Structure 1
Amino acid sequence: MGEKQFDAVVIGAGFAGLYMLHRLRQRGLSVKVIEAADGVGGVWYWSRYPGAKCDSDSIFYNFTFSEELYKKWRWKDRYASQPEILEYLNFVADELDLRPNIQFKTRVNKAKFNNERKQWEIETDSNETFTAKYFISGVGCLSTTNIPPFEGTETFKGEQYHTGRWPHEKVDFTGKRVVIIGNGSSGVQAMPEIAKEAKELTLLMRTPHYVAEARNKRLSKEEQDQAIANYAEIRDSFSTTPGGISMYTTGKSATEFTAQQQKETLDYVWDTGGLALGSVYTDTGINKETNFVVSQYVRDKIDEIIENPEKAQLLHPDYYITTKRLIIGTNFYEIFNEEHVNLVSLKENPIQGIVEDGVKLSDGTIECDVIIYATGYEAMTGSLLKIDIQGRDGQTIQEKWGEGRDVKTYLGLTMENFPNFFMITGPQSPSVLTNMPAAIEQHVDWIDHCIEYLETNALQTIEAQKVSELKWGRQCDDLANATLFPHTNSWYTGANIDGAQRGFVIYVGGLNNYKQICDQVADNHYEGFSFEKAQANVVLQ
């Protein structure tokens, strides 16, 4: 097939791809979005497991760039379920008439920058080639599923599922023996739902996590009306708060309160529900004393809820709270009081492999009818590293990033040697430490204004300078090292993927501060970037 020329090609039709398409199309550019699924939604298209929900309050889990669009939608629940989020993204696609610019059921296999033509050449699995001045990734931080390489998975005679690639039709667990491997967010959300049907449910757990109560509920009409009325405040929180979302805080350290006051405050947060265990005190992520107060509170709650002391002890997390993503669930700890729900610590009894009738552990086999892999994603870099992306002189992104172990970016948006390639919520940006729609809006707006600058000034390419990458990497490292994050192995560092351990690749300084840095770079005529006109290379300092 011949080449198809566009001003911009965007990968992915989730939150990021849809908004990027809207902004560039408003600018009058020709845009093609390439999406592997047969519909919009991104991760919310694929993650259809029982109990799947967002962990941001739903009134913040939407676009705010358009007041008209915002006020046309009303969320049903405090925490929106996967079907409702998918419905919302379809609503957005229809309201903005985005589908004509999206090519579904197509996967990008390769993208190469042609230095002579100053264009990106993008090849797909349907043997099509697209060329574009701008190449933009909206693949997301959590879209490439991780299934550990257990031996024998192909021999299992029962059903196998991954929470990140769930079937569209309902899976019936009635009367079945179910094993779920992993207890991150998807495992915590799925287990209480599966336990309602399964004859037996066994969790194989490597590391216990802190799970806060969601206190999910149906939103009343009055609460929906209030959210509509508060549009300006909600939009403001996207850019003025560290997480892009308003959350309860005392504004103080736990060390400023008595033990009784600490308990009363934490009781309030627990009973109210949500992620405020991470924001209730200002120094939870940097002060070991405060962190211990909050961590121990959750461990005490586990002991209070779970009747079997041995099970409770196994579920005690021992890392610093918030240094792995805080999980919210509904009656997660309570299900371990049910006779048909079992718990196995893989630290004490590791998996040896999958066999035809179940999961083989060191001390024997757990027979089952269904295996569920709630083993997460190759987070932050995995989706990009799966694509053959080549910059100048054929340098691949795999080579650039040392297969993910030495990530280099400028602002988490761009890279040296990869002109006109932009990453929405890429590594070394705030991304997963924020309310994702807020981070996405900030990145898309910045990219859009950058492209406006290039078009207005007749510039062919923009490219991060090497020194800018080095400075930004040091800045991200210095910020992370001033916190408790580096003390914990997590999917933030790739620790959930065998052989993928890397440095901390998230900007931890808060979305509000990050936005100010990005805006300052733009205001200073995109300081730290090199630009190319048709013939001459011009470096602006």
Structure 2
Amino acid sequence: MSLLRKREVLPAVSDRFEKDVVIVGAGFSGLYALHKLRGLGLDAIAFERGADVGGTWYWNRYPGARCDIESADYSFSFSDTLQQAWRWSERFATQPEILEYVNHVADRFDLRRDIQFDTQVVRASYDEAARRWQVLTDKGQLVSARYFIVATGCLSVGNVPDIKGRDTFAGPSYHTGDWPHEGVDFTGKRVAVVGTGSSAIQSIPLIAQQAERLYVFQRTPNFSLPARNQPITDGQDREIKAGYAQRRRTARYNSGGVNRIDPTVGALQVSPEEREAEYERKWQEGGLNFASTFMDLRVDAEANETAAEFVRRKIRGIVRDPGIAERLVPKGYPLAAKRPCVDTGYYETFNRDNVTLVDLQASPIVEIAHSGVVTSDAAYEVDAIVFATGFDAMTGAIHAIDIVGRGGLPLRRHWEAGPRTYLGLSSAGYPNLFLVASVGSPSVLSNMMTSIEQHVDWIGTCIETMRATGADTIEVMPSAEQAWVEHLNTLANATLFPRGTSWYMGANIPGKPRLFMPYAGGVGRYRQLCERIEARGYPGFRFGRPDADHATDSPASSPAAPFDIDALYIKD
């Protein structure tokens, strides 16, 4: 497995050149940033560690990989020509189709000519005298750039658990986030799948159809909702394309960045019969919208329990063996406190004779031996192991780069107690560094495509404003950063999200700070806040000019005056 790792020894510099912008990543974020900034006349280059475009959809090729956002929403809106030309074949697109779409976008807008593949950015340091970023790649290239944009994605660095004996296993092992491009044939094999998160829930039904014997090692049962995936008919395609304008308006200002009208009624405000009927309707409709059936499911534990218990009853009704069903039923945390999964036939798979569920809460893994997986009460001989163990989410790929700001302060140290940003866009002490749809923004709580476009558009307008006013740097004020960190905590604590030990909280990575990383206030509210900040001249940021004194130019030298985030919201 070639998962991204932090480089300890930096390469020698073999080539130097200048650009206006360096972008890290050529997934959806990096591609749109490249297109947008090129359109502003900036000389930009993107570095991508993979051999081609696609980001997460380039690496995640495991069986059953598909998006849990509807295809028509999980697509770019910046070009009507693009959205009218492209035809999605299914309601929830598969990884191959999404990758085909990404390649189509790269070709249509001639983006590859400014992307360098098979290249990893290993260090980026801010040169205070030159007021530029010095960006070093693993090929020894040192690029001086005015702007440094981190578009590395939230789920980019795979998490392989440090299990005793892992490297002694005689057979092949795989991580779902770094799947062999040629595919894997499990026909006639005994296979272990470790983990029951999204990639496991998508891949287990297909692996079970191939394998002679499948062992599923589950630590925490997950809530999974039926996808009800289906082909998109010609008539539906015409309807989608005719309605794109309204569809995008709805997505940009609702809570989740998708084509959904947010509910205005709570689960406890209707009768039990009405509530049950509405849950059943959403269950049959399929997809993640079940978790938004009522307005209070993410904030009221009693309301949430009505939805959670509905799903538990469904699981018990699908899985024939009552003992297995009970081990698959999620307990002890609210529905959607961990990201719900979307599946096709997941629970039904445990009715197969060749599938065994291993409960790691009752019998934890002790080691991986030469012949398989050993738990506290049994040894399971297998021919292959699949680690469906998720990612070092949101911060993993950022910290894989040695980012150094003013005064030689590494970002890793600035964030050692957890990520610190303002709007999720940048951090104090790191001028002209922009993050795209990452920590401190709606990102993983939203349709990523909606959030990516909103971030890149905001960054583009910000740079245009700088150029028009003669500024060459923009930097977060420490008081604004502190206020945003506190605001994120306030928003999260008003919800049920912190009650789940999820990757939202960094809980899957040993030693990672435990705090809720995304913005929990909703996509529309966040967008309105960003628009208000832009319209008011960027409060919370400081612009710098080349002729300014560098000492007073730094926001770090300014008093940490209180900064009122709430005052910037548009009041109803």
TM-score (norm 2): 0.93
Q: Give 2:480's aligned residue.
A: 468
Q: Does 1:99 align with 2:99?
A: no
Q: Give 1:376's aligned residue.
A: 390
Q: Give 2:80's aligned residue.
A: 67
Could you say if the C-alpha distance between residues 172 and 417 of structure 1 is closer, same or farther in structure 2, counting changes exceeding 3 Å?
Answer: same
Q: Does 1:156 align with 2:164?
A: no
* SS in structure 1 at match of 2:185: coil
Q: Any stretches of 5+ residues in structure 2 without a counterpart?
A: 1-13, 564-572
For 2:400 and 2:29, the matched residues in 1 are separated by: 19
Q: Give 1:272's aligned residue.
A: 285
Q: Does 1:136 align with 2:149?
A: yes
For 2:369 and 2:400, the matched residues in 1 are separated by: 29
For 1:211 and 1:57, the matched residues in 2 are separated by: 16
Match of 1:359 among 350, 373, 387: 373
Match of 2:543 among 511, 520, 531: 531
Deviation at 1:332?
0.4
For 1:50 and 1:71, the matched residues in 2 are separated by: 29
Q: Give 1:341's aligned residue.
A: 355
Deviation at 1:250?
4.9
* 8 Å Cα contact 1:248-1:276 kept in structure 2: no
* SS in structure 1 at match of 2:133: strand
Deviation at 1:249?
5.7
Match of 1:188 among 201, 205, 218: 201
Q: Give 1:498's aligned residue.
A: 510
For 2:94 and 2:493, the matched residues in 1 are separated by: 35
* 8 Å Cα contact 2:250-2:260 kept in structure 1: no
Q: Does 1:406 align with 2:402?
A: no
For 1:454 and 1:248, the matched residues in 2 are separated by: 36
Deviation at 1:238?
3.0
Deviation at 1:3?
1.4
* 8 Å Cα contact 1:249-1:276 kept in structure 2: no
* 8 Å Cα contact 1:392-1:418 kept in structure 2: yes
Q: Give 2:410's aligned residue.
A: 396
For 1:523 and 1:219, the matched residues in 2 are separated by: 40
Q: Give 1:514's aligned residue.
A: 526
Match of 1:145 among 152, 158, 161: 158
* 8 Å Cα contact 1:251-1:280 kept in structure 2: no
Q: Give 1:422's aligned residue.
A: 434
* SS in structure 1 at match of 2:296: coil
Q: Does 1:53 align with 2:76?
A: no
Deviation at 1:254?
1.0
Q: Give 1:175's aligned residue.
A: 188
The range that moved more, 461-470 or 521-530, is 521-530
Q: How does 1:211-290 map to 2 (within 5 A)?
A: 211-247=224-260, 250-290=263-303
Q: How does 1:10-21 map to 2 (within 5 A)?
A: 10-21=23-34
Deviation at 1:501?
3.8
* 8 Å Cα contact 1:388-1:397 kept in structure 2: yes
* 8 Å Cα contact 1:479-1:508 kept in structure 2: yes
* SS in structure 1 at match of 2:210: coil
Could you say if the C-alpha distance between residues 5 and 249 of structure 1 is closer, same or farther in structure 2, counting changes exceeding 3 Å?
Answer: closer
For 1:211 and 1:528, the matched residues in 2 are separated by: 40
* 8 Å Cα contact 1:248-1:280 kept in structure 2: no
Could you say if the C-alpha distance between residues 372 and 459 of structure 1 is closer, same or farther in structure 2, counting changes exceeding 3 Å?
Answer: same
Query: CA deviation digits over 1:35-68, x for unaligned, max 9?
Result: 0011000000000000000000101010001111
* SS in structure 2 at match of 1:475: helix
For 2:39 and 2:224, the matched residues in 1 are separated by: 42
Deviation at 1:315?
0.8
* 8 Å Cα contact 1:247-1:279 kept in structure 2: no
For 2:544 and 2:260, the matched residues in 1 are separated by: 44
For 1:127 and 1:488, the matched residues in 2 are separated by: 43
Deviation at 1:458?
1.2
For 1:216 and 1:126, the matched residues in 2 are separated by: 43
For 1:249 and 1:388, the matched residues in 2 are separated by: 41
Deviation at 1:247?
2.9
For 2:183 and 2:16, the matched residues in 1 are separated by: 41
Q: Which amino acid aligns with 1:178?
A: V
Deviation at 1:364?
2.2
Deviation at 1:525?
1.0
Query: CA deviation digits over 1:464-523, x for unaligned, max 9?
Result: 000000111111111111111112210000111122142111110001000111111111
Q: Does 1:311 align with 2:324?
A: yes
For 2:250 and 2:354, the matched residues in 1 are separated by: 44
* SS in structure 2 at match of 1:112: strand
Deviation at 1:426?
1.9
For 2:448 and 2:483, the matched residues in 1 are separated by: 25
For 1:417 and 1:297, the matched residues in 2 are separated by: 48
Q: Which amino acid aligns with 1:304?
A: G
* SS in structure 1 at match of 2:505: coil
For 2:514 and 2:336, the matched residues in 1 are separated by: 19
* 8 Å Cα contact 2:20-2:145 kept in structure 1: yes
Could you say if the C-alpha distance between residues 208 and 438 of structure 1 is closer, same or farther in structure 2, counting changes exceeding 3 Å?
Answer: same
Q: Give 2:222's aligned residue.
A: 209
Deviation at 1:447?
0.5
Q: In angstroms, what is the RMSD of aligned CA positions? A: 1.2
Deviation at 1:353?
1.4
Could you say if the C-alpha distance between residues 163 and 279 of structure 1 is closer, same or farther in structure 2, counting changes exceeding 3 Å?
Answer: same
Q: Any stretches of 5+ residues in structure 1 without a counterpart?
A: none
Could you say if the C-alpha distance between residues 415 and 249 of structure 1 is closer, same or farther in structure 2, counting changes exceeding 3 Å?
Answer: closer
For 2:210 and 2:498, the matched residues in 1 are separated by: 40
* 8 Å Cα contact 2:252-2:523 kept in structure 1: yes
Could you say if the C-alpha distance between residues 122 and 346 of structure 1 is closer, same or farther in structure 2, counting changes exceeding 3 Å?
Answer: same
TM-score (norm 1): 0.98
Match of 1:85 among 98, 108, 130: 98
